[in-house]
Structure 1
Amino acid sequence: MSYRPRIDTTPTPLIARSGQPQFGLFTDSVTDLGLANLQLRTEMDGLASRLRQRFGYKQFQFVCVQGPEFVLAIAIADVRFVNSGFAYLYRPGMDTLELSLLHPLALRCQMSESPVAGAARIGGNKQFWQLTLSADGWQVQLQSQRLQVDVQLQKQQQPPLALCAPTAYSGFTYTEKNNALGVAGRIEIDGHALDLSQARGGYDFSAGYMRRETSWRWASINAHLPGQGAFGLNLAAGVNETGLSENALWYQGTRQHLSPAQFSFDRQQGGNWQIRTLCGELDLTFTPAFCRQERLNLLLLASNFRQYVGHFSGEVRLHDGQQLVLDQVQGLTEDHYAKW
């Protein structure tokens, strides 16, 4: 079975002068969200208050850089009441370095309102991470006592997964992801530089008026397959509820949209995950090796977050009929509940 969704020309801006977002899967990055045009409505069709417009808007940005012997993950989130960030460096057989920041309101945090311009930053002078966005790629910088990062994720004309979907009664979510991008620069841990010769990276830009309570399952790969080249994967379930699929793979620089994904796993017992798509493009088993987790219950806000590093094995079918066999390919999964 072949899955070939309609891809629309990218709108500029995303929110039209009529005040309404333009929904769909797009050919390329949205350069201007057009938030000033938005006419946000309540569930009773009245204009939303300034307070709701301010505190209803959520945004997060995430970057992952993967090499054969490491995974670096960096996140910044602004949910208005608080802003937060985490970073970790995972290396098999070694202690994982984990960093986290949490600030009230907008203190020590800024976000970019476009996936191709501006910068997102969290932290102070001694410890911070910053994502600087451009049409050519994302620059990733991190400064801490033990870990220093300055790398560039290079798009090299590879198209992203870009979509805008309705959320709840009157909201919207724009998300953009791009995986298996080239990596250049330097990552140092305790004065030791990591080998980036086979590293690949990916990013996630998500923003909008999301559900007050939401949850999702997610999977991601940024890899260089021996003898085959760059392979990237993004799968999500639970966050988009309107028929638009946030699923795609990238192989040798070409994007392929994928049908809806099903995640099967046991939260209480742990163990392997089974991940399949509706039209049979892939059938994968994920075996976790490390979990970065956090549980917060702050009355107004709550989060139950688990992000796993592990390995994928299974089969992937491309549009041209070619079969790719994944054998212990490193990647991530995530299981997240949020009230924000």
Structure 2
Amino acid sequence: MTPLPAAPLTVPGPDGQPVFGRFAGAATHVDWSRLGAPYARGRWWRRFHHKRWHYTALATEQFFCGIAIVDVGWTNTAFAYVFDRSRRALAAGFSRDGLPGLTARLADHAGGGSRFRFAGKRIEMSASKLSLRCEGLEIDAAFGAPGAPLLLAVGPVQGGAVHATQKSSGLALTGMLRVGAQACSLAGGVASFDYSNGLLARETAWRWASAHSLALGFNLQAGYFGAHENALWLDGQLIGLGAATFVFDAADPMAPWHVFTDDGLLDLHFTPEGCRREDKNLLVAASRYVQPIGSFSGWVRASAAAPRRVVTRLPGVTEDHASRW
């Protein structure tokens, strides 16, 4: 197992080149206006192709929460949901499109703060905390601890230009969740986050899977970004993974999924417990999104020669997403 190189501080680098690769650590600044040839694009092209999102997952024995702020350049949106694993049902949630340039502010790197505020709804998130207020749902969460490094992945995008993403390992979680009159402690749970920032194609699609405990976690993607962001966190080590295959029924996402990597380091079966889905058609733009919530079982290993580590009912999500944006 070869350790990943240390992350560059800025993307692109001082010479304007994107510094492609997988790295351990965090970039402190992502600024695509500094791109050099052959990846440089004009200001107006960047305006309509620059996509950023900041997503946080919170998992306890009873609840799984997914919260995201998305800026697609010409508009923005946010969503949040709480899934009750004991009842196998969504306990709360909202989704709201914002006003361009007014309601959302996305950080320019994973350590910065992102926010969404509109019509009395508020989300603020960073790499260590999350605060949410909307009708019938409140979250105050803090997370983080010394442990496995962040993954930084930077790579080219067909039909677009370049993309960078930061993924965290599992982070120790504290705080409170309030759904209606019910208040629940988040202590003892696990958080993780995904910060992504790129110049993407108008038509973009992907499959995604992510799940974390404090000792073990993974991130898998197949689609527009290839295998760049595929990684395993195991006992404090960050391990790059090969290309991922997703075997599932797109017409029935609540059927079991099978995900595995071509390097023989991960083979997992996903059992959905529930699902959040949302389709939008804004004429000039459209999206199809489905995110099943459930658990993964199977095995992972640190190298082809290492023994398999059994994975049993690790809570997480899969996703099938296509956007014209």
When normalised by structure 2's length, the TM-score is 0.91
Which residue identity lines up with residue 38 of structure 1 in the other structure?
Answer: L
Q: Which among 14, 18, 37 is matched to residue 15 of structure 2?
A: 18
Which residue identity lines up with residue 35 of structure 2 in the other structure?
Answer: L
Matched, 1:275 2:259: yes
- In structure 2, the residue corresponding to 1:149 is in which secondary structure? strand
Alpha-carbon distance, 1:207 to partner: 0.3
- In structure 2, the residue corresponding to 1:179 is in which secondary structure? coil
Equivalent residue, structure 2, for 1:149 = 139
Report % sequence identity: 30
Q: Which among 42, 54, 68 is matched to residue 47 of structure 2?
A: 54
Larger deviation, residues 65-74 vs 87-96: 87-96
- In structure 2, the residue corresponding to 1:194 is in which secondary structure? strand
Give yes or no for contact 1:78–1:106 (8 Å, CA) kept in 2: no
Alpha-carbon distance between aligned partners in 1 of 2:271 and 2:13, rounded to the nearest angstrom: 44
Which residue identity lines up with residue 21 of structure 1 in the other structure?
Answer: P
Matched, 1:323 2:323: no
Q: Which among 107, 111, 115 is matched to residue 110 of structure 2?
A: 115
Alpha-carbon distance, 1:187 to partner: 1.8
Alpha-carbon distance, 1:155 to partner: 4.2
Decide whether aligned partners of structure 1 residues 205 and 294 sit closer, same or farther in structure 2, where only a CA change above 3 A counts. same
Equivalent residue, structure 1, for 2:233 = 250
Equivalent residue, structure 2, for 1:209 = 199
Give yes or no for contact 1:179–1:221 (8 Å, CA) kept in 2: no
Alpha-carbon distance between aligned partners in 2 of 1:53 and 1:187, rounded to the nearest angstrom: 38
Q: Which among 268, 275, 281 is matched to residue 284 of structure 1?
A: 268
Equivalent residue, structure 2, for 1:227 = none
Alpha-carbon distance between aligned partners in 1 of 2:179 and 2:160, rounded to the nearest angstrom: 45
Matched, 1:231 2:216: yes
Matched, 1:305 2:280: no
Alpha-carbon distance, 1:170 to partner: 6.0
Give yes or no for contact 1:58–1:207 (8 Å, CA) kept in 2: yes
Alpha-carbon distance between aligned partners in 1 of 2:81 and 2:258, rounded to the nearest angstrom: 25
Alpha-carbon distance between aligned partners in 1 of 2:239 and 2:145, rounded to the nearest angstrom: 16
Aligned residues: 321
Alpha-carbon distance between aligned partners in 2 of 1:64 and 1:9, rounded to the nearest angstrom: 25
Alpha-carbon distance between aligned partners in 1 of 2:145 and 2:163, rounded to the nearest angstrom: 23
Give yes or no for contact 1:31–1:116 (8 Å, CA) kept in 2: yes
Alpha-carbon distance, 1:40 to partner: 7.0
Alpha-carbon distance between aligned partners in 2 of 1:266 and 1:124, rounded to the nearest angstrom: 36
Cα displacement string for residues 260-284 of structure 1 (whole angstroms, at most 9, x for unaligned residues): 1100011114411111110111211
Give yes or no for contact 2:141–2:174 (8 Å, CA) kept in 1: yes
Cα displacement string for residues 284-322 of structure 1 (whole angstroms, at most 9, x for unaligned residues): 111112111111122321100001101212122233723
Which residue identity lines up with residue 299 of structure 2 in the other structure?
Answer: E
Alpha-carbon distance, 1:197 to partner: 3.4
Equivalent residue, structure 2, for 1:335 = 320
Q: Which among 101, 106, 117 is matched to residue 106 of structure 1?
A: 101
Larger deviation, residues 314-323 vs 272-281: 314-323
CA RMSD of aligned residues (A): 2.1
Which residue identity lines up with residue 64 of structure 2 in the other structure?
Answer: V
Equivalent residue, structure 2, for 1:88 = 81
Alpha-carbon distance between aligned partners in 2 of 1:307 and 1:128, rounded to the nearest angstrom: 22
Give yes or no for contact 2:81–2:90 (8 Å, CA) kept in 1: no
Alpha-carbon distance between aligned partners in 2 of 1:112 and 1:59, rounded to the nearest angstrom: 9
- In structure 1, the residue corresponding to 2:46 is in which secondary structure? helix
Decide whether aligned partners of structure 1 residues 293 and 22 sit closer, same or farther in structure 2, where only a CA change above 3 A counts. same
Alpha-carbon distance, 1:39 to partner: 4.2
Alpha-carbon distance, 1:16 to partner: 2.8
Decide whether aligned partners of structure 1 residues 49 and 196 sit closer, same or farther in structure 2, where only a CA change above 3 A counts. closer
- In structure 2, the residue corresponding to 1:21 is in which secondary structure? coil
Q: Which runs of 5+ in 1 are unaligned?
A: 225-229
Decide whether aligned partners of structure 1 residues 291 and 170 sit closer, same or farther in structure 2, where only a CA change above 3 A counts. closer
Larger deviation, residues 67-76 vs 137-146: 137-146
Alpha-carbon distance between aligned partners in 2 of 1:299 and 1:40, rounded to the nearest angstrom: 33
Q: Which among 119, 125, 129 is matched to residue 131 of structure 1?
A: 125
Give yes or no for contact 1:83–1:105 (8 Å, CA) kept in 2: yes
Q: Which among 141, 150, 156 is matched to residue 166 of structure 1?
A: 156
Alpha-carbon distance, 1:249 to partner: 1.9
Give yes or no for contact 1:292–1:307 (8 Å, CA) kept in 2: yes
